[in-house]
Copies of this chain bind each other. A is one copy, B any other.
């Protein structure tokens, strides 16, 4: 079994990979785009390499050899399985692969840092930390009351790995958490579950609204004029899903009219957000550069998830988090 991955990922996770697939041949892509068979040390022609498995690690998108990696992946007729280290699969390349018969698995490893991010964003809003920062810049001692988490109600839209991690944390503060999911499993760590069609009725009592759901045909512009009209004037909207979930053209007027108090957007409709976008300077908007998943534990968890699936692949067992054509079209 030939496994295609970056030299950086191979080097970082050598021992766990060897344990999971002792007889694999590792085709390692260097930062300079050269491909090597690790066992022989021989340089391979990337145009004729025939990997069976490919592992797409996050170093590829963090300045790694992304272009040669996807070149081989999209060209290869030998490829049987690609594991991504991301949860989302809305980039067109994934749809093409799945339709071509390549198995695709996603990784749901970003829950902890994204949930940490959401909690910081909510606490920052509830405590109006902006006012403390502004007063400190003026050297002014100006106390104000803060809203306790324990008195808030949360609406978490999407109860996958991320939504669950958010719910566990928020409830430890005493918040009341309602989770929204099309098909509840029954073990969600929340106070209540609701269906997507119940969201408008729940918004008027929700102080914190979290978007942690994938973008697909059914969720694009989920947050539109109508959604925003149902929100509380003191509510904060936190989007850690995809930029497409929010109609930014509807969001800014809603903030201006006081239909909600604040929006924290770690994802935007256009990324990177253009320098002249009005979101940057809006006093009720906080933009962060799609960073909530960039936790320092993500590489370790990505390796654990790949190792588990390699074990399953070698043993002929079902793979975890396999993405189907139906998921792509959902």
Task: Write the residues of chain A forming the contact surface with B, with a CB cutoff of 8 angstroms.
Answer: 112-113, 115-117, 119-120, 123-124, 126-127, 129, 132, 135-136, 139-151, 168-169, 171-174, 271-273, 275-277, 280-281, 286-292, 294-297
A141 in complex: contacting residue of B135, B168, B281, B289, CB < 8 Å: B289
Please, which residues of chain B bring their CB within 8 A of the CB of A280?
A: 136, 139
The answer to whether A127 touches B120, judged by C-beta atoms less than 8 angstroms apart, is yes
A275 in complex: contacting residue of B112, B140, B291, CB < 8 Å: B140
The answer to whether A148 touches B116, judged by C-beta atoms less than 8 angstroms apart, is yes
The answer to whether B151 touches A296, judged by C-beta atoms less than 8 angstroms apart, is yes
How many copies of this chain are found per oligomer?
Answer: 2
Please, which residues of chain B bring their CB within 8 A of the CB of A135?
A: 289
Nearest residue in B to A118 (C-beta to C-beta)? B123
Nearest residue in B to A140 (C-beta to C-beta)? B275
Please, which residues of chain B bring their CB within 8 A of the CB of A173?
A: 112, 115-116, 119, 169, 172
A281 to chain B, nearest CB (A): 8
Between A and B, 22 residue pairs with Cβ closer than 8 Å are A112-B174, A117-B127, A119-B123, A120-B120, A123-B123, A132-B288, A136-B286, A139-B276, A139-B280, A139-B281, A141-B271, A141-B273, A143-B289, A145-B291, A147-B295, A148-B296, A148-B297, A151-B296, A169-B169, A169-B172, A169-B173, A172-B172
Known: A120-B127, A139-B281. 7 other contacts (CB 8 A): A116-B123, A117-B146, A124-B129, A141-B272, A147-B295, A148-B296, A150-B297
